[in-house]
Amino acid sequence: MIEKYYKSLGASPEDSSEVIREKYLALRKQYEEERFSEDSDVGNNAAKRLTEIEVAYDAIMNYRFEHSNEGSTAEAYKSVEAAIKSGNLSAAQQLLDDFNERTAEWHYYQSVVFYKKNWFNESKKQLEIAISMNPNEQKYKDSLEKLNARVNNGAKINSDWNKSGNTYGGENPQQAGPTQQLGGDSCAQWCCDMIICNILLNCCCGCR
């Protein structure tokens, strides 16, 4: 669909926005002059072409704006992912707080941060929101299933998640280890925790 708009302006997707605007303005000037031609056919064609190029230019600019934002959002999520993988949960949370739009993917990443802080109830809520917004995304469903299994197998929920007076405060996330979640020190408990944690992070690394 977008190709026909480029063709209408005599432009191509490789052209810069500035070049496209120049071509649009040149065509608009041409057809505005022809619109008042004494030849009715020329005038009618010019009026039709004016409408076409207006629609084409708006469509191209909107398309470019939307895809530019998508690219910026994707890069922002990559930054969140990198912060989570490095263990810098404060930085990951700050990046999430800076998002203007909270999409299903945003809630998914928020669930990962909460999970890493042992805030399992909050992590579950975020995954449920993500699923309600995008029920076709399988990684959200898989993550929720693993989280439920984790909690049902005896994970201890950190009750200090809101003691700081806000959603994101509380304990030092770097001190929240697997023995706190499981209430024990055995090797089997440690391994179980690491496996579940890696599942969420693997989902995180595979997102768009």
Q: Are 42 and 110 found together in one domain?
A: no
The residue from 50, 69, 88 where one domain ends is 69
Q: Is residue 75 part of a domain?
A: no
- Of the candidates 185, 122, 109, the residue with the CA atom closest to the CA atom of residue 151: 122
Q: Are 199 and 108 found together in one domain?
A: yes
Mean pLDDT of the 103-109 span = 95
Banded pLDDT at 181 (limits 50, 70, 90): very low
Q: Is residue 90 part of a domain?
A: no
Q: Are 63 and 145 found together in one domain?
A: no
Res. 178: pLDDT tops 50 = no
- Percentage of the chain lying above the pLDDT 70 cut: 74
Q: Is residue 77 part of a domain?
A: no
Higher pLDDT, 21 or 1: 21
Which residue range forms the structural domain that includes residue 127?
A: 102-205
Q: Are 118 and 64 found together in one domain?
A: no
Write out the two tokens for 109.
């990443």
Q: Are 195 and 141 found together in one domain?
A: yes
Q: Are 193 and 118 found together in one domain?
A: yes
Lowest-pLDDT choice from 79-88, 92-101, 166-175, 189-198: 166-175
How confident is the model over 186-198, as pLDDT tens digits? 344 444 454 455 5
Res. 113: pLDDT tops 50 = yes
Banded pLDDT at 127 (limits 50, 70, 90): very high
* Domain count for the chain: 2
Mean pLDDT of the 64-78 span = 83
Mean pLDDT of the 13-35 span = 93
The residue from 69, 89, 124 where one domain ends is 69
Banded pLDDT at 85 (limits 50, 70, 90): very high
Q: Is residue 16 part of a domain?
A: yes
Q: Are 63 and 112 found together in one domain?
A: no
Q: Is residue 161 part of a domain?
A: yes
